Amino acid sequence: MGFFSVLSSEFAKLAASKGVLASVVAALLVPVVYGGILLSATWGPYDHLNNLPVAVVNNDRGAMSDGSPVNVGEELVNNLREGEDLGWEFVDSTHAMKGLQDDKYYMAIVIPEGFSERVTTVMDPNPQKLELEYIQNEGLNFLAAQVTRTATEKIREKLADTITQTYVTKVFSSLGDISEGFAAASDGSSQLADGTVQLHDGTSELYESVSGKTKDIARLADGANQLKAGTGQLYNSLASKQSDITKLANGTKELKDGTSLLLSKLKSSSGDINKLANGSKELYAGTVDLKDGTGQILAGLQKAEPGSKQLRDGLGQLAPGSKQVTDGAAKLAAGAKALEEGIKQYQNFNLTTKVDPNFQKIVEGSEALLAGANSLRDGAKKVSDGLAKAQPGSVSLNEGLKQLVEGQKKVDAGAAKLQDGAKQIADGNATVNKGWGDLTDGVTRLDNGASQINQGNQAVNQGWKQLTDGAGKIDNGMAQVNDGTSQVNQGWVTLADGATKLNDGAGKVNDGTQQLATGLKEGAAKTSGLNLGQKNIEMFSAPVELKSDTLNEYQYYRDSTAPYVITLGLFVGILIMSMFINFRRPAEISAVKWFTVKFINLSGLALLQAALLSFVVLVLLDLQVDSLLGFLLMAVVASLSFSAIVLFLAAFGGNIGRLIALAFVIIQLSTTGSNLPIEMLPDNLRNLSEYLPFTYSISGFKSVITLNNMTAAVTNMGILLGFMGIFALLSFVVFIFVKDGKHTHTEEKEEGYAF
């Protein structure tokens, strides 16, 4: 089916169903009837306040003031009777309370018994404020409670003017007495002027006496100041050296502690030095014995050398004595071993031998002796074991013996050197022992001297502290003297200045009393001529009148509610008309065609209701707007935007979507600037209002009805067109995915759809 075929089919369904057509027309009239009622020029919350019942109870018993009766309660009741601000009913307390309990009265005003008596206390030292009681029945109607509260404020202002007038009347009545008082004061001021002349003469003498001593007092203060400077310098000099004296005392104490520690260490090491000297003597004695032993060994080896030749020549004779040679060689090896161990033990006892080159030679000789002895032992064993091979082994024995002789010679030479070194060590340690004793004696004398220096410096330190403290006390005393003389000097200067000012003041008092006498005479003359008429009293009691002007004034109450009423009517009207439109897309029709047809259907109805409502409001109700074209454009844009929103909700959820649309309306009733300005809303609701279309519809209608601000109107229309574009796009998406090809005409009637 073509686009125009679908569109003509839709309008044909509407024309064919008279009932549906009548329902659509009735829906179009909903915003018209709603706007016609609420936008009537003769309807407003303040038009019929005289029908609002308010009870007035007068319990005031009146009072007397300066012999004249005062009855403020009665005057207030008479003023209320003359006005028609509210529906006043003048009853007693019983009827008023019963009327409030029976919800007959919106408010009750009670004038207490001592109302007038409190007015008479206006000139008393402790005046009593008037208390006007009022009781509101706010539950009947909140707006009525605000109106009645405003009325009580006006009553309070009238009473305040009355009391002020009473006060001014009393003040003006006393001005005559004031005039007489001025005359009497003028006579007294003349006598006062005579006395001030004598006062001025006395102050002149005082000034001359005080000013003559000012220079002497100043010299005394300067001398005390110089003395203070000298004592301060003395104290600072002593105090600045205190740290040096303390350091000297502390240094000598540390010197004493150091010498005592040195002496203690020297004495504790004396025993070790003695042991070292004695050990070195024993070392020397041992080296002498070692030298003798090695000489004997060398002599023996030298004697053995010819015998080895004889042994070689007479091997046949060695067999019987081979065992004896073997035993002797073993003993020789054991002795060499013992000699080596004794040298090592001596090295451990005297560690200096480990670095002594001469002693190292002894060590090497002992090692060579041990090696030779071992070789001899081994050779003897070989001789004993291999008699058959004695002839060849004798050669080796002869050679080994020669080596042993040479080694023993080296050992003997090393022992001689060891003996010389040991003697030098013994002599050196004896010298060290004697020097250590001399050093200990010298340190003992140094420690005694350091002790005496320490005691002397401690005494100097203590004395210097006492000297510094004394200088500080002198300086503090001089500071007090200096301060005292400075204060005396300042006080004398102040006294001189005071005497000068007193003298000058006495002269001015004299002049002032003359002027006072003249002024009092003139004041008496002027106060006697004051105008104390009723108009002057009224001027003083209420000197200010409010003069107000209003910008963008509402001609009728309806002008303030028109933006909200028109907005609500357009949205509700299009919501009702959506109930007669079938939004289910048949399978054989494309989404684009179906969306276009339904959008045109609903938009056409939106334009129709906007035109109809504008005609009724502008022509029949004669609503005055600042911009006629702006109003018409605003109505069209708002109605089209609302139609796009309703199109999306109805197409997406059917009747559930329409319920959502109704809830959407309820949410916007108090959050879009209808009852309260958006600026007065809580933060969360104020932020929410920025995303609600009613906000921009109401603001736009205000701009063209009363504010004459087309720039704001165009801005709001642009935002509403943005809403229309967004929801139109969402509706198109819904039509793409939602379709029902089996939907029959009977089902449409059952669901309430017409076209």
Tokens of 245: 């004296």
Specify the range with the lowest mean pLDDT, choosing from 6-20, 207-221, 244-258, 604-618: 6-20
Residue 406 lies in a domain: yes
Per-residue confidence (pLDDT) for residue 251, from 0 to 100: 83
**Burial of 463 by CB count in 10 Å (0-12 exposed, 13-18 middle, 19+ buried)?**
exposed
Shared domain for 489 and 595, answered yes or no, is: no
Residue 204 lies in a domain: no
Is pTM beyond 0.85 here?
Answer: no
Shared domain for 496 and 613, answered yes or no, is: no
Residue 255 lies in a domain: yes
Shared domain for 354 and 478, answered yes or no, is: yes
Residue 512 lies in a domain: no
How many Cα atoms within 13 Å fall on the side-chain side of residue 356?
21
pLDDT average, residue stretch 468-483: 79
Distance between CA atoms of 700 and 714, rounded to whole angstroms?
8
Q: Which of 525, 546, 595, 560 is nearest to 705 (CA)?
A: 560
Shared domain for 370 and 252, answered yes or no, is: yes
Shared domain for 25 and 127, answered yes or no, is: no
Identify the H or E element spanning 546.
none
pLDDT tens digits, 344-396 = 887 787 777 777 787 787 878 878 878 877 887 887 677 677 766 656 766 77
CA distances from 413 to 69, 355, 422, 500, 545 (A): 157, 18, 14, 123, 144
Structural domain total, the chain: 3
Shared domain for 253 and 131, answered yes or no, is: no
Local structure of 643: helix, strand or coil: helix
Residue 629 lies in a domain: yes
Domain end position, chosen among 143, 173, 203: 173
The CATH number of the domain where 295 resides is what? Answer: 1.10.287.950
Range of the domain at 249: 220-500
Shared domain for 708 and 582, answered yes or no, is: yes
Shared domain for 635 and 496, answered yes or no, is: no
Residue 134's DSSP bridge partners are 109
CB 123 within 8 A of CB 66: no
How many Cα atoms within 13 Å fall on the side-chain side of residue 498?
7
pLDDT tens digits, 307-321 = 767 767 776 665 666
Domain end position, chosen among 158, 173, 188: 173
**Burial of 311 by CB count in 10 Å (0-12 exposed, 13-18 middle, 19+ buried)?**
buried
> Residue 59: what are its φ and ψ, rounded to 5°?
-105, 5
Per-residue confidence (pLDDT) for residue 24, from 0 to 100: 57
CA distances from 258 to 263, 273, 446 (A): 9, 22, 10
Shared domain for 578 and 467, answered yes or no, is: no
> In degrees to the nearest 10, what's the CA dihedral of 402, 408, 413, 414?
130
Shared domain for 91 and 18, answered yes or no, is: no
Distance between CA atoms of 675 and 721, rounded to whole angstroms?
25
Shared domain for 388 and 496, answered yes or no, is: yes
Shared domain for 496 and 608, answered yes or no, is: no
What type of residue is 741?
A: G
Residue 193 lies in a domain: no
pLDDT average, residue stretch 168-172: 60
- The 3-class secondary structure across 403-424, one letter per residue, is HHHHHHHHHHHHHHHHHHHHHH
Residue 272 lies in a domain: yes
Per-residue confidence (pLDDT) for residue 181, from 0 to 100: 63
What type of residue is 502?
A: L
Residue 455 lies in a domain: yes
